[in-house]
Every structure is written in C-alpha cells, then in structure tokens.
Amino acid sequence: MAVMVIGGVIGLPIAGIGMLRTVIAPPRDEPIRFNRKRGKVYLYRFHSGGPLSRKGWGVVPVVFNWADLRAEAWSRMAATTSAPIFAWGVDIAVVEPGTNHVIDRFQLAGSNANGEHMWAMARAFMNQGPEALPKYPRPPRDWNNDVPPYHLVLRLAPKVQWPADMDRESRTAP
C-alpha cells in the first residue's frame, strides 16, 4: 500500500507535467509552403520527446523536393463496444530520387479531413500554377493569429516562427 502511495505521489506530477507539455508545447499550426518556382515544399514540423526530457522537443523546419513526394491515402477501422470507428487521411511519403524507397513521411491531412482534395490542389498549384486553383469567396484563415477567445490551448501555444532564411526562400523565386 505504501509503495502505491509513494508511486502515486511521484508518478502523478510527472504524468501531469508530461500531459501539460504535450498540450501547450506544439505550435498553433504546422504549415506547409509550396514554392512552385523552386520546386520545393517547406514543412514546419513539430517533434515531441519524453515527458521530462528536453531532448527531441521542438520545431524542425525541413525542405523537400516536390519531385520526391508521393501521396498515400490511408484508412483505419477499430471495433468498439458500441460501434466501429472509421478514420482516414493522407500522408506524404518522401522517396529517394529515382526510387520508391521511402525515407520520410509527414501528415498532410489526418483523421477524416479531406486530404485527397488537399493533395489535388497542391498538385494543381505545383504543376499548373495559381490559375488552376479554385476561387473561394473568403480568404484563407490564418491559424497562427486568428485564435478564437474560447480556445485557451491555442492561445498558450507558441506562434509559428519560420527561420528568416527559410521564410525568405519559401516566398521568393530563384
């Protein structure tokens, strides 16, 4: 009994810190930038580490060549006691040039988002230019600055900060 109490006294704060960190450490958004002129895709990735370690946590912006990206649609079903749960999405695989060997993956759209539509729009933009994109009546939402007042977790999350050289490169032509 005493071991369980001591374990709870030590383990619960550690678990609480870990859960709090996983909620407020990720940035408000993980944007993807497509630069058609350079043939590059810029990704603002967040990696989480252990609950108490500093190692492995943080944002790692990366650049991929457009020609090395492949879309992978996925679906999963899990049985529960009341009803099956079905989820689907689209991941992007980064392959070695000239092969189909996958060296990295990132999520374009997860769990029930319309990832196939997003990938089709990305392909249209990169292959044909901005003229190929549909015209929408409202401008896109800025998830970095447009945070609803009731969404406390996003208000605590850090804003997206691209490295200056990558920010400039992703917005300009060669």
Mind listing the pLDDT tens digit for each residue in 92-145? 999 999 898 999 999 888 766 688 888 999 999 999 999 999 888 988 777 777
Are 115 and 108 contacting, i.e. CB atoms less than 8 angstroms apart?
yes
Share of the chain above pLDDT 70, in %: 88
Does the structure show a pLDDT above 80 at 89? yes
- Per-domain residue ranges for the chain? 2-133+158-168
Distances in Å between the Cα of 174 and the Cα atoms of 65, 84, 127, 170 are 14, 50, 17, 10
CA distance 109 to 115: 5
Residue 13 vs residue 71, higher pLDDT: 71
Predicted pLDDT of residue 25? 67
Give the global pTM.
0.78
pLDDT, tens only, 59-81: 889 999 999 999 998 888 888 88
More confident residue, 62 or 11: 62
pLDDT at 12 (0 to 100)? 78
